[in-house]
Every structure is written in C-alpha cells, then in structure tokens.
C-alpha cells in the first residue's frame, strides 16, 4: 500500500478518520528526513483508545503502518481543548517515566 500524500503534510491539530468512521485528533507529529532519495518517516501521536500495560495515555503510528495509511484526512480540529488535552500533550512532549504520567490511559479512552 502506498503512502497517501497527506501524511507528508499532517500536523498537530488535524483530524483523521479511521476506516471504521472514528475521528482521531493528531496530538503530535515527529518527522525524520530520509536519506539518499528515501522518503522521510513520519510518526503520528494520538490519545490511546484502550488501556495499555504501559499506562501511557497516548499511542503512535508511523507512516509505514497500514493502519495509518488506511485513515482519511478530515481537516483541522474545530473544537475546544480541555485540561485533559493539555495533560495528554504534556506527556507526549516530556515522555515521563512509567507511573509519572500526567494523564492515565483509562482517563483518555473516549477522547478523540
């Protein structure tokens, strides 16, 4: 499966739709430039959908994952961020040690 062009332009605050119709807010994007003609690699971070043994409140997919490639770009997020959203973003940015998360995975299960 080829990589959709929108993956190269995705940024935090965009909304993607899964093949099942769930809309997910892009929390963070990390890019690594490719070498010698290879495309760059892109990692997209989302709030986690179910609790994990790690306890983290977020998950990430790379541009090489079929799951991310099957998503559809919707557009920018038009809602209002909550205090929980800011706690999720802080965990993504700081990558704290296990048990030191600002937001727990069970808190964010229903967050887009």
- What is the extent of the structural domain holding 27? 6-107
**What is the reported pTM?**
0.88
Inside any domain, residue 57: yes
Inside any domain, residue 32: yes
Predicted local confidence at residue 60, as pLDDT: 93
| Mean pLDDT value of segment 55-63 | 91
Predicted local confidence at residue 98, as pLDDT: 82
Inside any domain, residue 40: yes
Which one is predicted more confidently, 15 or 104? 15
Inside any domain, residue 85: yes
Inside any domain, residue 81: yes
Mean pLDDT of the chain: 89
Between β-strands 41-47 and 28-32, what pairing exists: parallel, antiparallel or unpaired? antiparallel
| Mean pLDDT value of segment 77-104 | 90
Predicted local confidence at residue 4, as pLDDT: 87
Looking at the structure of the chain, the number of domains it has is 1
Inside any domain, residue 112: no
| Mean pLDDT value of segment 8-24 | 94
pLDDT greater than 70 at residue 15: yes
Q: Tokens for 4? A: 């959709």
3 state SS for the chain: CCCCCHHHHCCCCEEEECCCCCEEECCEEEEECCCCCCCCEEEEEEECCCCCCCCCCEEEEECCCHHHHCCEEEEECCCCCCHHHHHHHHHHHHCCCCCCCCCCHHHCCCCC
Inside any domain, residue 101: yes
Please state, in angstroms and rounded to a whole number, the distance separating the CA atoms of residues 43 and 62. Answer: 4
């Amino acid at each position: 499966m080829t990589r959709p062009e929108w993956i190269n332009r995705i940024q935090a605050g965009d909304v993607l739709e899964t093949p099942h119709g769930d809309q997910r807010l892009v929390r963070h994007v990390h890019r690594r430039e490719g070498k010698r003609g290879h495309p760059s690699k892109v990692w997209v971070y989302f709030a986690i959908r179910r609790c994990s043994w790690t306890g983290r409140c977020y998950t990430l997919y790379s541009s090489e994952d079929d799951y991310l490639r099957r998503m559809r770009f919707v557009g920018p997020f038009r809602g209002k961020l909550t205090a929980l959203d800011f706690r999720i973003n802080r965990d993504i940015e700081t990558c704290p040690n296990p048990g030191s998360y600002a937001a727990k995975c069970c808190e964010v299960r229903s967050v887009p």
